[in-house]
Structure 1
């Protein structure tokens, strides 16, 4: 094998490792509310999330193109592959750190932060305009939208079913949560599998194995989807407990409202804008919005503050790890 092929395969391999960690790190995004409300058993929920991620990956082409060609501009050649490799390692390390502490930080922003940090360390070209429009703006707006819509949708649910019997309503919403959790799983696949696909495409282009930086080979969809699904089925119980139990005490109506809002925001950004937003930010803010309809004190703001702290740290932390990794691996890609 040529050195270029070895380097490309190394980047693809580490991208798939990230994909797997993304699966078990972000499994909570799709299923934590369904598990906490007992709408689904843990294993059934994980299996459904894995299938949903697999399906959703095939609808995330626009997000993949943004990650592959809209964030950094790298010259072709083996040295540039060191940048991509280091950026993905930065994301993996930050994923493992936040998973260990049970903090639902964004795997998406860890990947983008790691890639940008490694690019800056290598004095490469960062497309700041693209990052501002496709990453920073959605990063700020999507939690705000999730919080507001979560609040409004939950108010609507409370008003529509205000005369319903609590026991019957809970049973009905448990069934409804099966659908909303499935929608959330597909949205997660649209976003998170697509980001790994974008890294694979970037590696193929930079390595000189394809001329079009936006072309996605079919095998990239299947491989990324399968690995993300496997990681999701492995579960991420620490983060599932944080999202499902520690922010608010969820019942089936609240879980349904939060999942419906979050999945809608994910679909809009993936299919309409092609923006790589954070599924973690979206579902967490939707849960908070739902919780506020009870009373402000229903949300455990201390836990929420720790989560927001992890959000703020993700970009600089993953970027710093990516930059350090670049200096360590650069000699291997010469």
Structure 2
């Protein structure tokens, strides 16, 4: 039985909702992002691959992947690839902890595992920058570290709120990400205080999520016109493709978690009784959130590092702590 379960989890990790699913979603969401960018900025792409240009992101990814792997003399050669692969594994493992998986992995207090894996994904991006000796890369890594240190407290505090409230409504959930996702729609209607806590946490969580995902105005670690793409200055070919894969995968998995915890998950359909219907609802909500993030990313100016750090400590963190206190006192 143990070997059957292990084989099942390996299949889920490789196929759905694991690696293959994430690859397909990256292609689809990057196509959406380019379409939104084209509409907002009045641009047109130079080439079309596939129907409606749907396969153009895949073609661009393969173009990077098939290039020669050139590494500067003083850069680390093997370690960045290993750490980036672990980052891909971490973001893939997150999907197995959600109702998207047909046989999810969950346990009491698994929200701690979620935060750990999500942080490991971000740290793998940071390590990619640290592995190359370049002044612009060092600037980018410093900015990225400042962004993470500023965004993570608000991010963790706000995402804890629905888990705490869910565990108070149903003690058997025991601070589980999966269990909280199944009843997240009830968190808004339990009582007036839970509604207030959820509303404040949803706002703070969205702002903190923008910081984690480097959505404008929080993209100052890259700032391609200022520090030559920062963390990724020295990268090209397969290594840049791997870095982009992690970044784009984050922009899929983290918003899906946001949908599951703050936007009712599969509500008004119960995914435990109607799996396919629940998935469609979750993906529809995710697409709305992703389009909103894409529009914001295209219309907002960029913060300076000082402005971005100050904003994250001043607004999302204070809101998240207020929501967390309310959730604890309910």
Same fold (TM over 0.5): no
**TM-score normalised to structure 1 length:** 0.30
**TM-score normalised to structure 2 length:** 0.30
Which has the higher relative contact order, 1 or 2, with Cα contacts under 8 A spaced 6 or more apart? 1
